[in-house]
């Protein structure tokens, strides 16, 4: 099978990604698990990639989420789609899964594994860390993060244990405090709000419901529209 053989140009065994390439990958970042999708997640991700999604994170959380072999199988299938499209495939939280399937990287929050430990496990793979304030951001930079996730920017119904809403102000705040790492905003970002998140200092937007929550036949168009707002 060709897509299983095709090597990703991003890889846990590769060289560390440059900040410029990282910024491009963050532009329209789809976060997705089977619980977020109205339809087959493979269809949703295929359509999002056709619309120009620049990175995909597999985040299998919430009611009815897959476990065990089914989870690994879906991860491998989504990875195949991302490899064909040439975009990085990131695993949320689960270092063992990321290493097992040779994902392109991993995303962790403050409650997950220590970022320095994750960096030591994944070599040059992409490491994303969710942070909520300057000290966390500085620490993640020191621990070798490639990008920081900042959220929730707006209220979200996709993450029941989300932090208090930050608003846009956290983005210029981090920039002015000297955080130059690529930043992605997350939480409640819609087509209407995408432009202001970029204007406030983010390099990209990460979304669940604005893409994965749509009927499958609207996914491609939604990603195309998000890209237009961001490239403006």
Catalogue the active-site residues.
59, 130, 159
Distance CA 30, CA 56 (A): 5
Which among 144, 195, 153, 143 is positioned nearest to 174, based on CA atoms?
153
Binding residues: 57-61, 92-93, 112, 130, 156-159, 188, 208-209
Spatial CB neighbours of 201, under 8 Å, sequence gap ≥ 6: 171, 172, 174, 175, 183
User: Residue 187 interacts with ligand 3NM (CB under 6 A)?
Assistant: yes
Footprint of ligand 3NM on 107-146 (CB under 6 A): 130
Q: Are 31 and 207 in contact (CB under 8 A)?
A: yes
User: Residue 185 interacts with ligand 3NM (CB under 6 A)?
Assistant: no
CA angle 119–208–201, rounded 5-degree value: 65
DSSP E strands, 59-168: 89-92, 105-108, 126-131, 147-150
**Which of residues 209, 218, 224, 225 is near ligand 3NM by CB under 6 A?**
209
User: Residue 189 interacts with ligand 3NM (CB under 6 A)?
Assistant: yes
| Conformation bin of residue 92: beta by default, left when phi > 0, alpha when psi is -120 to 50 | beta
Stretch that binds ligand 3NM, among 3-11, 44-52, 114-122, 148-156 (CB under 6 A): 148-156
User: Residue 204 interacts with ligand 3NM (CB under 6 A)?
Assistant: no
Footprint of ligand 3NM on 38-57 (CB under 6 A): none
Binding residues for Mg(2+): 93, 112
| Contacting residues toward ligand 3NM, per CB under 6 A | 31, 130, 149, 151-152, 156, 158-159, 162-163, 186-189, 207-210
């Amino acid at each position: 099978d060709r897509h299983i053989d095709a090597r990703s140009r991003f890889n846990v065994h590769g060289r560390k990604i440059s900040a410029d390439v990282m910024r491009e990958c963050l532009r329209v970042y789809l976060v997705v698990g089977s619980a977020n999708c109205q339809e087959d997640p493979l269809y949703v991700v295929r359509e999002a990639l056709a619309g120009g999604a620049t990175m995909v994170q597999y985040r299998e959380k919430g009611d009815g989420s897959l476990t065990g072999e089914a989870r690994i199988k879906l991860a491998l299938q989504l990875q195949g789609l991302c490899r064909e499209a040439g975009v990085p495939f990131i695993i949320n939280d689960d270092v063992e899964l990321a290493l097992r399937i040779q994902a392109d990287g991993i995303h962790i929050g403050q409650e997950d594994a220590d970022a320095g430990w994750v960096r030591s496990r994944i070599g040059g793979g992409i490491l994303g860390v969710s942070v909520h304030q300057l000290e966390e951001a500085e620490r993640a930079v020191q621990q070798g993060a490639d990008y920081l996730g900042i959220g929730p920017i707006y209220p979200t119904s996709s993450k029941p244990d989300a932090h208090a809403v930050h608003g846009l102000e956290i983005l210029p705040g981090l920039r002015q405090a000297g955080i130059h790492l690529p930043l992605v905003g997350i939480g409640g970002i819609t087509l209407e709000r995408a432009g202001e998140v970029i204007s406030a200092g983010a390099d990209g937007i990460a979304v669940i419901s604005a893409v994965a929550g749509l009927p499958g036949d609207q996914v491609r168009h939604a990603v195309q529209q998000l890209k237009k707002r961001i490239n403006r």
